Amino acid sequence: MNKQVTEQPQSLALKDKNTISGKTVYPILIAISISHLLNDALQSIIPAIYPVIKDTFSLSFAQIGLITLTFQLSASIFQPFVGLYTDRKPQPYSLAIGMGFTLVGLILLSRAASFDILILSVAMVGIGSSIFHPEASRMAHMASGGRRGLAQSIFQVGGNFGSSIGPLLAALIIVPYGQSNIIWFSALALLAIILLINIGGWYKRKIRIKAKRPEKVVAHVQVLPKKMIIFSVLILLVLIFSKYIYLTSMTTYYTFYVIHKFGVSVQDSQVYLFVFLFSIAAGTIIGGPLGDKFGRKYVIWASILGVAPFSLLLPHANLFWTIMLTIPIGVILASAFSAILVYAHELFPGKVGMVSGLFFGFAFGMAGIGSAVLGGIADRTSIEYVYQLCAFMPLIGLITAFLPNIKTKS
């Protein structure tokens, strides 16, 4: 059902012209979420095997950071361009093609015998991700039935559950049996390709229906001045910077942190990483619906700034409390991205692919650059110092106060 938007002082209300009215298409949202789960589970194998390849190839923390930088940049640079292109010419089967790149990257990674091949293999996986995310986000938007925050949360939660599974799979299959066993995960990539081909068929039919019977959208829209929109986007990007610098400190170096500080085994460290990543997955589903109900700004504010008390305590905690603190950190931090992404969609109606590509790409890029920088800092100081430094990143969430309010009413 179409919604009419009322505008309050200093607020912006928008209705995206690409939203297809009607009921939320849950089977498609769940299928997209499952494909996101498979995609991100395969991607998360890369940081999960860092302790293995660090010993095998005698890598420094800086080289580990370079692997993450390569992976994240290849996953980020192409995303805005993919999104911009598909805004104009939707590509229903591009997701399956992207998963094909991931499949090739996994095969190369399982057989890599040098640092150069490691770099090439993670770049292939990253390219697959850059093709996947913008168009998958558009499909979730199209299936939302107007409940955009909920749709993005369902889409995101699949990816975050997938990311949490990666360390467990690595602990069970790769750590005890070696790098070559990564080849078994190619079966998941093939399964994802089959699923994505079927989702692409639904998407293609919806595009044809929309072309034949374009829907009229009744909405009262008052757009903010261009300078205010640019200012709002800059704030959102800074917030993503703070979120993903802290997040990459956890996903890339948390296993090394607990191994070095508490003397745990590699397999135990993977389990502790799973606890954190599972917390992220559990928290993801919260942000979108709360944003739909109370407003994106307040969810963004609470989810980034709210992490600060726990992040500041983490470097001073023992092993038990370190694990316990990662749970609220993951849950609270995870609720931000869905709200940020839908907020950005509302700033730029009709540009779902481009905006999704820009924000996914920027997030991955910041994670990659942050990983490389933090790796260099860890080599020069210590892994504990990295966590003392990153503990202050969530305080940047204070700038959320400068975002305009966006409210939608029936």
Give tens-digit pLDDT for 292-351: 676 677 778 778 888 999 999 999 999 999 999 999 998 888 777 777 877 887 788 777
Give tens-digit pLDDT for 114-141: 999 999 999 999 899 888 877 887 788 7
From CA 222, how far away is CA 404, in angstroms rounded? 13
Integer distance in angstroms from the first to the last C-alpha of the chain? 9
From CA 307, how far away is CA 394, in angstroms rounded? 6
pLDDT of residue 191: 92
Identity of the residue numbered 140: A
The DSSP symbol for 21 reads: P
pLDDT confidence of 207, banded at 50, 70, 90? confident
Distances (CA, A) of 61 to 65, 124, 175: 6, 22, 19
The first and second tokens of residue 252, run together, are 């890339």
- Number of CB atoms found within 10 A of residue 124's CB: 20
pLDDT confidence of 389, banded at 50, 70, 90? very high
Contact between residue 403 and residue 239 where contact means Cβ atoms under 8 Å apart = no
pLDDT confidence of 260, banded at 50, 70, 90? very high
From CA 262, how far away is CA 244, in angstroms rounded? 25
Contact between residue 374 and residue 254 where contact means Cβ atoms under 8 Å apart = no
- Average model confidence (pLDDT) for the chain? 80
pLDDT confidence of 406, banded at 50, 70, 90? low
The DSSP symbol for 78 reads: T
Lowest mean pLDDT among 102-116, 163-177, 216-230: 216-230
pLDDT of residue 103: 93
Contact between residue 270 and residue 254 where contact means Cβ atoms under 8 Å apart = no
Backbone angles phi, psi at 13, to 5 degrees: -130, 130
Find, among 18, 244, 246, the residue nearest to 142 by Cα.
18
Average pLDDT over residues 360-369: 76
pLDDT confidence of 156, banded at 50, 70, 90? confident
pLDDT confidence of 228, banded at 50, 70, 90? confident
Average pLDDT over residues 278-302: 74
The DSSP symbol for 119 reads: H
Identity of the residue numbered 150: L
pLDDT of residue 259: 93
Residue 395 vs residue 174, higher pLDDT = 395
pLDDT of residue 320: 96
Q: What is the pTM of this model?
A: 0.66
DSSP assignments along 193-229, one per residue: HHHHHHHHHHHHHHHHHHHHSPPP-----BPPPHHHH
Question: Could you identify the residue written with the tokens 């023992």?
Answer: 318
Lowest mean pLDDT among 139-153, 190-204, 205-219, 324-338: 205-219
pLDDT of residue 407: 52
Average pLDDT over residues 214-230: 61
pLDDT tops 80 at residue 3: no
Contact between residue 252 and residue 371 where contact means Cβ atoms under 8 Å apart = yes
From CA 95, how far away is CA 196, in angstroms rounded? 6
Residues forming a β-bridge with 222: 13
Give tens-digit pLDDT for 40-85: 888 888 887 888 888 888 888 888 888 988 887 887 777 778 777 8
pLDDT confidence of 20, banded at 50, 70, 90? very low
From CA 131, how far away is CA 78, in angstroms rounded? 7
pLDDT of residue 242: 87
Backbone angles phi, psi at 159, to 5 degrees: -60, -40
